[in-house]
A and B are shown apart, each in its own frame.
Chain A
Amino acid sequence: MACAKTLYRKLIDSHTVRELDDQGNVLLYIDRSILNEYTSPQAFSGLREKNRKAWRPESVLLNVDHVNPTRPVRDNKMTDPGGQLQVDYFRENSRDFGIELFDVLDTRQGIEHVVAPEQGFILPGMVIAAGDSHTTTYGALGAFGFGIGTSEIEHFLATQTLVYKRLKTMRVKVIGKLGSSVTAKDIIMLLIQKIGASGATGFAIEFTGPVITQLSVEGRMTICNMAVEAGARGAFMAPDEKVYHYLQDKPRAPKGEMWELALQSWQNLSTDEGAEFDREVELNCDTLEPMVTWGISPDQADNISGKLPDPVNEKDPQKRLAQEKALAYMALKPGMRLTDIQISHAFIGSCTNGRIEDLRLAAEVLKGKKIASHVRGMIIPGSTLVRQQAEQEGLAKIFIDAGFEWRQSGCSMCLAMNEDVLEPGDRCASSTNRNFAGRQGAGSRTHLMSPAMVAAAAIAGHLTDVRSINGGEQ
């Protein structure tokens, strides 16, 4: 029985250079990283100060995504001096350390978690560490990805390793049948609501079950991406034929004989029968409806047909306080229907939901419709390649005809580090991952939901069940 291993242990063990103690700390070999302009500068400065080199420059990609403008016509100028400084230093670091850069005008550029899979830079069985918490996305490809801070970026760049403590393991089995217009986003929002924003702290999550198998690779990425909002430091799924099909022919995927070798080595990437997890969770999708958040933590969420909670009914004092604080910040009344919440903005994009499939789902809802006159709608594709594809498929025209702004790729109004910022009191239906107070701009209010639900809210002018717009059919 000691032989049965979880996929997590297989991924970690195959990358362990040495055990560092008997507490689970190991020196972990990192295959690849993709760095952005805002969490990496001090790491490069640290290398310069100590006269250290990058261990394996070709294992890293630099990619501008947080501060770049999304103006419809792209140019090379950042919106503010701070962003310009970061991009300029990024370019200098690319030159001096010999690391490839996807600069603002590069057609392969975009949000790092969209770009890296799109390029075939992330492959099953790999361990990826990067300076962004949503690095967990790569688990959808059967890799293990996790977010690190700037000091650890420096450590990785200098040594190709990290000092890493093995996590506990959680298996989330997703069963049942997804209803129409219920998506991967709703599944992960259900999990976060169920286990809480720190429910997976200290854990790596393996997602299994028939619903996961049926999801597209892009849908799986949405789930792994947002698992960090439950505190998970890694979330992954065993790779399958869909993953191999997704990767084949990607620019950086292995070719020919190497592809065959890769396929062979990926066969072993699943949890052995009988392997034990520290925690098991089951999610049944039979009754799952489209979900939205109403508060300022991702676990403050409910079915769209639900009502806002009344803190008076909450027994746990800490939860009650959190509800009161959230309702006050969001300027919402206890007991009101979620569908009565009026919005001023609609945002589709981000590393969670800025992929081509997400845009297709939104376009399906928006086709032939107009968004409410009081709503400003923005669509920010996850990468320049996604943007180009959406234009080729005619999606861009649907968005523009519906009244959405069709803009250039980037992180944009997910965290609002560029010029796309909400004003105090603005209320946004958002396909992003965080509804923290002030996340999309000081005093702004964010409701998380799937891209289809954002599209529906934009049309209605308030939160609404996308199935009422789609007529309950697909």
Chain B
Amino acid sequence: MQTFTVVTGKVAPMMDANIDTDVIMPKQFLKGIDRQNLDRGLFFDLRLLSDGQPNPEFILNRPPWRDSAFMVVGPNFGCGSSREHAVWGLQQTGIRALIGTSFAGIFADNCQRNGVLLICLTPEQVAEVAAVAAQPHHNTVSIDLSLQQIQLDDGRTIGFQLDERNRQALMKGLDAIGVTMEYEGEIREFEEQYRERNLWVQIPRPEN
């Protein structure tokens, strides 16, 4: 997993509420068995016109925002399907962090597991970042995860909070399975006692 400490880049606004994972990664890009080339699918129906040409209206197609490292988004971003492909697509497009008031639960976990930082702010703070993001020439921000701070182009800063466990994992790029496997003995002990207490959960596989 890519680590996150201090990242500086442009921030693109996408303030619609309830942007769902079907929109972020449409169904035709879900037919693979690997994680490759999902940047091609990101926001596909918004990014391209029906003739396949780039949609000049779409924010990530426009020159100052084309190479954004961050997006500031509307409430409930990432709702809908559990598809992690949406996060892989964002990551492969170079998006390192999303800033908004609320994110859907599964999407948030998927981001965390792939090193994409989610920053939750108040509606007023999000509006402040969105105003900066909308300016074509002053939309560079710097996000410092060790200080938990966003620095805007004009020097203003906005602090944010992150679950400490998540923050450490993002900063160190930890392998979550590897970390959990350090508790392997405890899991086995728990499992044994749990199954002893609940004998009925042990169901033999029926014959076909």
Assuming A29-B187, A67-B31, A325-B16, is B74 touching A318 (CB within 8 A)?
yes
Q: CB distance A161 to B113 under 8 Å?
A: no
Instruction: Give the number of chain A interface residues (Cβ < 8 Å).
Output: 81
Query: B138: which A residues are within 8 A, CB to CB?
Result: none
Pair B104/A41 contact, Cβ less than 8 Å: no
Closest Cβ–Cβ distance, residue A234 to chain B (whole Å): 9
Would you give the 0/1 interface string for B31-54, flagging 1 where the beta carbon is closer than 8 Å to chain A? 111110000000001000000000
Q: Are A159 and B180 in contact (CB under 8 A)?
A: yes
Q: A442 to B33, Cβ gap below 8 A? A: no
Residues of B within 8 A of A339 (CB): none
Known: A21-B164, A27-B180. A231 touches B104 (CB 8 A): yes
Does A210 make an interface contact (CB < 8 A)?
Answer: no
- What residue in chain A is nearest B74 (Cβ atoms)? A318
Stretch at the interface among A80-88, A278-286, A378-386, A400-408: A80-88
Q: Judging by beta carbons under 8 Å apart, are A442 and B82 in contact?
A: no
Of all chain B residues, the one with the shortest Cβ separation from A88 is B33
Task: Check A201–B18 contact: CB distance below 8 A.
Answer: no
- The segment from A169-177, A178-186, A387-395, A433-441 that touches chain B is A433-441
- Whether A442 contacts B106 in the complex (CB less than 8 A), given A17-B186, A165-B163, A436-B80, comes out as no
Query: Which residues of A sit under 8 angstroms from B110, Cβ to Cβ?
Result: 149-152
Is A417 a contact partner of B30 (Cβ separation < 8 A)?
Answer: yes
**B23 adjacent to A436 (CB under 8 Å):** yes
Which of B6-14, B55-63, B65-73, B194-202 is found at the contact surface with chain A?
Answer: B194-202
CB < 8 Å neighbour of A261 from B30, B31, B199: B199
User: How far is B206's CA from A165's CA once the two chains are assembled, in angstroms?
Assistant: 35
Given the known inter-chain contacts A133-B106, A231-B105, please indicate yes or no for A25 contacting B163, CB distance below 8 A.
Answer: yes
Q: Let me know if A201 and B76 touch, CB within 8 A.
A: yes
Q: Would you list which residues of chain B between 151 and 208 have a CB under 8 Å from chain A? A: 163-165, 176-177, 180-181, 183-184, 186-187, 190-191, 194, 198-201, 203, 205-206
Bound form: Cα–Cα A151–B76 in Å: 21
* Minimum Cβ distance to chain A for residue B13 (Å): 13
List residues of chain B with CB within 8 A of the CB of A81: 31
Shortest Cβ distance from B170 into chain A, in angstroms? 14
Point out the residues of chain A lying under 8 angstroms from B17, CB to CB. Answer: 197, 297, 318-319, 321-322
Beyond A149-B87, A437-B22, 20 additional pairs, beta carbon < 8 A:
A23-B163, A31-B201, A41-B34, A82-B32, A85-B31, A86-B32, A132-B81, A148-B82, A148-B106, A151-B110, A152-B109, A152-B113, A154-B177, A163-B176, A197-B17, A197-B79, A297-B17, A415-B27, A417-B30, A436-B22
Closest 9 CB pairs of A and B: A82-B31, A198-B76, A41-B33, A262-B200, A149-B84, A149-B110, A151-B113, A233-B105, A150-B84
Cβ contacts A to B, 8 pairs, < 8 Å: A50-B177, A82-B31, A82-B32, A161-B187, A197-B17, A262-B200, A322-B18, A436-B22
